[in-house]
A = this chain, B = another copy of it.
Amino acid sequence: MKRIAILTSGGDAPGMNAAVRAVARKAIFEGLEVYGVNYGFAGLVAGDIRRLDVADVGDIIQRGGTFLYSARYPEFATEEGQLKGIEQLKKFGIDGLVVIGGDGSYHGAMALTRHGFPAIGIPGTIDNDIPGTDYTIGFDTATNTVLESIDRIRDTATSHVRTFVIEVMGRNAGDIALWAGVAGGADDIIIPEHDFDMAEVAQRVKEGRDRGKKHCLIILAEGVKGGNEFAEELAEYGDFHTRVSILGHVVRGGSPTARDRVLASKFGAKAVELLLEGKGGLCVGMRNEEVVASDIIDTLENGKHQPDLSLYKLNKEISF
């Protein structure tokens, strides 16, 4: 192993830059040369590749987004695209690749490995929905950004004695909703991984109202349904002066939290260690406070991400 490359793929997540920096610095520390691939797999196939030295990844640890850019590129699912990508890497004499992103990125890394090119996946997505790790890069930052919005909305909800349905990102996963909901003192949290009954939701709102509670906040994971649709259904059970707030792309950006930067740094260094050991086809993760690596195929095929459902029960018991 003499030269490795890095790319970021899928939706951007805060901490991706910290991961790129860690991969590059660790590799340089170990005597490797490092290349950055722009625009994810699209750039890989197009050969949009540049050398990264120590200074190129300086002053980026605190930046949101990804300075390698990202792009959707469904064409990489074809063998033709994959072989073209490997060809480009070989042109630069690159022997290993680190891919930072969500499950789409993992599929790309898996394909390259199957073709004999060692690739390592690092879980980077705000949604926290990747198997093989307790936390993904960007989840902590996005959760805190959502929380800040919840805190702001509480001011306005309290001032006007209103109910707010706050729709939050997370694709099919309820992690952001769960964590931000518990942390925000939400009256109810609605996630894809747990049933809910609108009559009970309404009952909970009503009880808070009757007890003199000024605000009522319902955190709704986007994977369940849209905020406006939810609010309309809730309205059938009574007039709760409901407003809807949809927290969209705002929560993707921003400077990463300490935790996301530390996680990204650990993952990046680990990925380089694995390549140096001659390993490929693995994804790194954090499990029970330990950095681990697992087979990327097995993880994608048999792993299943589960949010911490104890938070769901906890919220029912302490937020009312």
Residues of A with Cβ closer than 8 Å to B?
8, 11-12, 14, 18, 21-22, 25-26, 29, 54-55, 58-59, 61-66, 69-71, 134, 140, 143-145, 147, 149, 151-156, 158-161, 164, 179-180, 182-185, 211-214, 243, 245-259, 261-262, 265-266, 268-269, 288-290, 310-311, 314, 317-320
Contact B158 A265 (CB under 8 A): no
Residues of chain B with a CB closer than 8 A to A161's CB: 69, 71
For the residues of A in contact with B, the DSSP-based class is: helix
Nearest-neighbour CB distance to chain B for A189, whole angstroms, equals 12
Complex alpha-carbon distance, A4 and B181, angstroms: 27
Q: How many copies does the complex hold?
A: 4
Determine which of B8, B153, B253, B257 lies in contact with A253 in the assembled complex, contact meaning CB atoms within 8 Å. Answer: B153
Partner of A319, one of B25, B155, B211: B25
Known: A243-B249, A247-B250, A289-B288. A66 touches B159 (CB 8 A): yes
Contact of A22 among B26, B155, B248, B318 (CB under 8 A): B318
* B69 and A318 contact, CB distance less than 8 A: no
Cβ-defined contact, A253 with B55, below 8 A: no
* Most central of A211, A258, A314 by chain B CB within 10 Å: A258
Determine how close the nearest CB of chain B comes to the CB of A247; give it in whole angstroms: 7
**Which residues of B are found within 8 Å of A156, using beta-carbon distances?**
12, 64-65, 249, 252-253
Interface centre among A185, A289, A290 (most CB of B within 10 A): A185
- 3 closest A-B pairs (Cβ-Cβ)? A152-B253, A155-B253, A65-B155
Residue of B nearest to A68 (CB): B159
B250 pairs with A12, CB closer than 8 A: no
